[in-house]
Structure 1
């Protein structure tokens, strides 16, 4: 039997953590859901390869073939009633009550059918209480709740509905919501983009005192740039006209040659954000689970390319299933640390936890930990004391530490945790920078936060200038963000304007060449990672649409498919006899952070080197217009 209580879900007395995906009946080849078990087995097995054990069907009930496939593959299902938020009208309620009864009659005996809700984001009224009570009396084989995220709107009643067996929601009455990202009109402080990065966030206080398990609603929603290679696959009743339009827009902005790189870089950041969202849920004791939005793309509602798989359940090449399962599986070693960027004078301190929902208790479990350089050299290692680990719980294992004083060059380190004798492991990156970072400016370089007449005169004389404007100073720019844009930019742009809410930045992370000499002293991949958080959050990507078609910034920011700006936070221009390096990051007001000092040091060294030789030229009037300040 599948039951719920204060400490979570159980199946036949064993703890269950739901690692869910979302299905809104998007099947572009046919326009309807598969009616054969074989196709559902294919879908569920792909999802299982990414650690998924649960499916929520958004406002619909799948056919019998899906239940049969779920029975065989071990997938926990949550179908829903179709709804139009018309509860309380007799004819509507009578229809839905009868529809629910027919669903139970047809599919209720399937062991995979464990949960049932009335629909999506419905609000709340007495008819919901009545219908849940009726269904519980009619068929006691399942767990019931009024709906998924019913009180999601600002000012909604963020309390558990009396009589519900579980609660699918994005927020409770706690200070933190129970997922990491939001449309800012619903909640403006999703922790991934709002709080400096760590692995300390959990939702313990948000679910404290609740008598039923909480499941995170539509967790994730991190956009990936559209993959136009999918267009030929639309061979059925639907055509990818949206992607064709997006491709035309990108081509018109002279960046179609970067489309594949945009997918890879934005996708790498989306994976990073999904991981933090998932691990925050795993770090929460007695949490019921999460329902991702999503493992795969959603081609409706303005187009939400939020998946690591495309709409056909095919990989985009962003991450291998085995790597995804490191943080999305029945058993996951977890590292808790207060930050990702460290100084060499510090001692790293971390705590090890283990989320264990495997089939049985572990006897004398040991976690091995190892610290390696990016080139694979082992610097430190250790093991925890053996201890028995009970199934169905989050366990605090031990703490460990290691000194960073021997790290004499800026670099990324990898910390691997592994449960000895098993397949379960997890990996974390940290970045270490020296304390004595040289931040002096050579005499022949002008560093300034104002682009004025003195700067223009210096450039005209052949000088080298590093322009570092203060945050929010440039007119021709957008707001800086770390995470990829939430769900769909045009959809929530309209919502923001309608509700007098600030429009989201709308960007999808950085794209750069890590081997560029400007980044020689700042270790980086080609995409955003946690060491970029303070940099991009204190940036204002400059709109470079009027630069030559082939002009590319040193550090580019990827824009969304609706706007397609060419954006840069680090770029160089030849201005007359002079050389200009623009860093649209507020470095000067954030020099207390080691990664900021290191980035500053790296670009100053570059400007002071023979390699600083911009190939693209602009006249002073164009530059003045480009860098106009408020």
Structure 2
């Protein structure tokens, strides 16, 4: 009995194994069929298309059968018309922006005959463009079937009822890059000032067939308290029949995989389904330090009893929650501080924002390398690739619509456009964990009831972000944060630094919502004319740089162009350090947004960045040096001034800005003072302590007597452990008791009088130091010009100073070729002399750099031969508060030694009439 039973068991086992094997084969076949079906359900539309411009917009109203001809030219898509030199060949040299080589604004037509696969019968047929500019309209044969005017999201046209599977149709697309609504011409989604007003189709473009029951929207709402996500599906049912089925979810990530499912039943054309999925204790949070990402895949399987339908949709998400704190944005229940840059859609290489991952990853990694964790997209929304790379590397985005200025003034058509646009942005990009902040637009004016409507609606639709009505303008009720230069408690803007660091913006930032300092920095750098050649393969050219360069050459100073660039650039780096540190010291500030780390080529051209418009370094500061004062953890030092007499004592108050991922346990804090060679002059330690996270902590004070230091630059260093270091330059001088004493050979005079003339006629030396109020010319300023001198044409229109430091008058005054904080008590007491009418070879030893659209020779101090004598002119107040101006005293001492030496021998001659021309009698 046992033997047959054993045989039977063997047979049963064999049968079960065969069944499993057959099931596996069937499953593989099924998967292969699905794969083939998916492959056949998408037609790539990239490649050659028929093309024709239509600047008069005639064709749109003439698509009759008689007029349905083949377009006469060809073009490759994705691409833009500029790539093919289509449009008006531009002969001009725009001063206020880069010059587009070929300008085209108007409808352009793209055409292809496409066979719709017979297998697509019963399918929903869509034509998808990742990004167009601005209006896209689809014509099938002679009928217009769809028109979409989104700016910020893909265009997805429904062709289902206008094409017949198995038939070839002539598909004609009209892209119209004219302004479809009366919106601000500077918004960065359209403007010629940054990315150009291109015409074309970019990114992914395809024809798709999907089943008539499909997932139109998939949104994921993380709950970090119980490690779950609420999943919200919008299922569209176009069968007009009841369907039932299952939505199966797969959530995957690094070392993580989970499956769940929910029953689906739909009787309407649109059905919303919500389910909560518990993710378990192994799920990880997303933030800038640990950008953990997860993929959710939804497979929809439904049936109406006769037919079965399948559809699949996926999304990337991160486990993160954002909330409004008192002073800070709260991410995952921890305050964060935003160290941000303004992204202005500056892409001269292509003329449009890139849609590939690699281009955006480069920008995101540059931000991380320079210690940043935030990007504000000024009046535009980036494409999906930007979100993907920010998700991957941990950058917090602020997204805006293409709204600026008067766009909130009453205009119902424009209002409806913005109502559609905000909903489309939230639907398309809302799952991305990098999408932390939303703002309607830039510096808006007009009807703020409409702005409140948009802001409140955004908060209602999608609570995964914080919302603000507008940057830098009127507050609205629904604001959860505020980006501005000003609050009701005072200015929070920081545009430039000071020679002291014992100040902050805490009081002004402490209001009812987190405050982010709007467009910080903005100090102008003289253009680098070497950049001109970088535009040879771009749709734009820096012809304004050519104008500026030619003017500098005409004015006889082209050989100094690189010196101007480097000297003004060094000053801008100095300003950025001071600006950023001031905002880091402001513990009640929510953060800052620089304008900007890369140059802004519009609005008059603002070369304010440490990167050029191509995001290439200008060589002014390394990432390593920048991270000393801009990073998750920064050592800070408060002190009263940068220039000292050596009878004084330096007093420093050390602080640590720490918005890293954790507190710093048992931190060892030390300070030391070095001379220019790096030799340690003094050193000491502060008390070891734990430095709290998400705060700015005082960590101790120290003093350094300066009595043994004389006439040199020294540097104070502060370190937390060994990896966090920062430093500040100081200048120490002896007190100069006797200054500007005349003798037989050298006459000091504040006026150009007969005594001066007689001294010069005798071949002797005169130092002329007229009071600034008696000198014609511009005001002297330490800071370089704000933003750019074309848009903001206010006095004095100068961009720092070039110091001819190698010349002998500076032998006893320590300086570099650019101005640093020791120049503060000199330049703020001086006057700028107009010197264009002097000999070309005559260069002032304190040379003021003029605005690049003027390029006049300017100076505060110069020397020349006059009437047989030797003259040194210094347009400087040598009396006011002189006992509190150590650098001024030392400069005057150095000049005195110089003019009394045989080194003083001016080479260029000027007429007495020139001297008299800049003096007020």
TM over 0.5: yes
Equivalent position of 1:121 in the other structure: 443
Whole-Å Cα distance in 2 between the matches of residues 321 and 99 of structure 1?
A: 37
The correspondence for 2:770, drawn from 465, 469, 472, is 469
Separation in 1, partners of 2:428, 2:734: 66
Aligned residue in 1 for 2:743: 443
Q: Which residue of 2 aligns with 1:199?
A: 501
1:484 corresponds to which residue? 784
The alignment's TM-score, normalised by the length of structure 1, stands at: 0.92
- The alpha carbon displacement at 1:437 in A equals 4.3
Alpha-carbon distance in structure 1 between the residues aligned to 2:514 and 2:647: 43
1:244 has 2:565 as partner: no
Distance in 2 between residues matched to 1:588 and 1:358, nearest whole Å: 49
Matches within 5 A, 1:474-623: 474-475=775-776, 477-493=777-793, 503-592=794-883, 593-623=885-915
Matches within 5 A, 1:296-315: 296-315=598-617
1-side partners of 2:436 and 2:603: how far apart? 29
* Residue equivalent to 2:407: 86
Deviation string, structure 1 residues 422-450 (Cα, Å, up to 9, x no partner)? x2110100111112444251412211111
CA contact (8 A) 1:179 1:281 kept: no
| Secondary structure of the structure 2 residue equivalent to 1:25 | coil
Is 2:778–2:795's contact at 8 Å kept on the other side of the alignment? no
**CA-to-partner distance for each residue in 1:208-236, whole Å, 9 max, x for gaps?**
3x122110101011111000111111121
Q: Distance in 1 between matches of 2:610 and 2:904?
A: 38
Q: In structure 2, how many angstroms separate the alpha carbons of the residues matched to 1:86 and 1:620?
A: 58
Which runs of structure 2 are paired with 1:48-67 in the superposition (5 Å)? 48-67=368-387
Q: What secondary structure does 1:349 align onto?
A: strand
The structural deviation recorded for 1:514 is 2.0
TM-score (norm 2): 0.63
Unaligned runs of 5+ in 1: 152-159, 182-190, 494-502
* SS of 2:856 mapped into structure 1: coil
Q: How does 1:99-138 map to 2 (within 5 A)?
A: 99-123=421-445, 125-138=448-461
Q: Where does 1:235-314 land on structure 2 (aligned, <5 Å)? A: 235-314=537-616
Secondary structure at the residue paired with 1:306? coil
For residue 211 of structure 1, give the secondary structure of its aligned residue in structure 2. Answer: coil
User: How far off is 1:59 after superposition?
Assistant: 0.5
1:12 aligns with 2:332: yes
Structure 2 counterpart of 1:165: 480
Q: Distance in 1 between matches of 2:844 and 2:443?
A: 42
Which secondary structure state, in structure 2, belongs to the residue aligned with residue 46 of structure 1? helix
The answer to which structure has the higher strand fraction is 2
User: Secondary structure of 2:698's match?
Assistant: strand
C-alpha distance in structure 2 between counterparts of 1:472 and 1:101, whole Å: 59
180, 184, 190: which one pairs with 2:494? Answer: 180
Q: CA RMSD in A?
A: 1.4
Deviations 1:598-625 (A, max 9, x none): 1111111111111111000122233322
Deviation readout 1:39-94 (Å, 9 max, x if unpaired):
10011111221111111111110001110011012111111011242324332222
Larger Rg: 2
Q: Could you list the per-position Cα deviations for residues 347-368 of structure 1 after superposition, in whole angstroms to 9, with x for gaps in the alignment?
A: 1111000000111111111221
Which of 383, 392, 405 is equivalent to 2:707? 405
Q: Deviation per CA, 1:444-497, whole angstroms, max 9, x where unpaired?
A: 22111112233222211222111111123212x21111111001102111xxxx
Q: What's the CA shift for 1:7?
A: 3.2
| Cα distance between partner residues in 2 of 1:467 and 1:2 | 64
CA distance in 1, matches of 2:415, 2:695: 39
What is the match of residue 57 of structure 2?
A: none
Name the SS for the 1:386 alignment partner.
Answer: strand
1:36 is aligned, of 356, 362, 367, to: 356
**SS of match in other structure, 1:490:** coil
Tell me, in whole angstroms, the C-alpha distance in 2 between the residues paired with 1:537 and 1:33: 42
Counterpart of 1:216?
Answer: 517
Structure 2 CA distance, aligned partners of 1:265 and 1:511?
A: 6
Give the corresponding residue for 2:112.
Answer: none
| Bigger relative contact order, structure 1 or 2 (CA pairs below 8 A, ≥6 apart) | 1
CA distance in 2 between counterparts of 1:504 and 1:393 reads 39
Contact persistence 2:760–2:867 (CA under 8 A): yes
2: distance between equivalents of 1:478 and 1:453? 27
Following superposition, the deviation at residue 162 of structure 1 comes to 2.6
Q: Distance in 2 between matches of 1:560 and 1:251?
A: 14
- Asked if structure 1 preserves the Cα contact closer than 8 Å seen for 2:736 and 2:890, the reply is no
Contact 1:215–1:290, Cα closer than 8 Å, also in 2 = yes
Q: Distance in 2 between matches of 1:619 and 1:94?
A: 69
Corresponding residue SS for 2:435: coil
Offset of residue 387 of structure 1: 1.2
* Partners of 1:436 and 1:25 in 2: CA distance: 53
1:188 maps to none
Does structure 2 conserve the Cα–Cα contact (< 8 Å) formed by 1:437 and 1:601? no
Distance of aligned partners of 1:436 and 1:243 in 2 relative to their CA distance in 1, 3 Å threshold = closer
449-458 or 599-608: which moved more? 449-458
3-state SS of paired residue (1:114): strand
CA contact (8 A) 1:437 1:598 kept: no
Unpaired runs of 5+ in structure 2?
1-320
Report if the CA contact (8 A) 1:472-1:479 is conserved: no
Task: Write the distance in 1 (CA, Å) between the matches of 2:641 and 2:721.
Answer: 26
Structure 1 residue 306, shift from structure 2 partner: 0.4
- What corresponds to 2:95 in structure 1? none
* Equivalent residues of 1:5, 1:211 under 8 A apart: no
Structure 2 distance, partners of 1:621, 1:471, is 19
Q: How much does 1:316 deviate?
A: 0.7
Q: What residue number does 2:667 align with?
A: 365
Instruction: Say if 1:220 and 1:294, in contact at 8 Å, map to a contact too.
Output: yes
Residue 391 of structure 1, CA deviation = 1.0
User: How many aligned residue pairs are there?
Assistant: 595
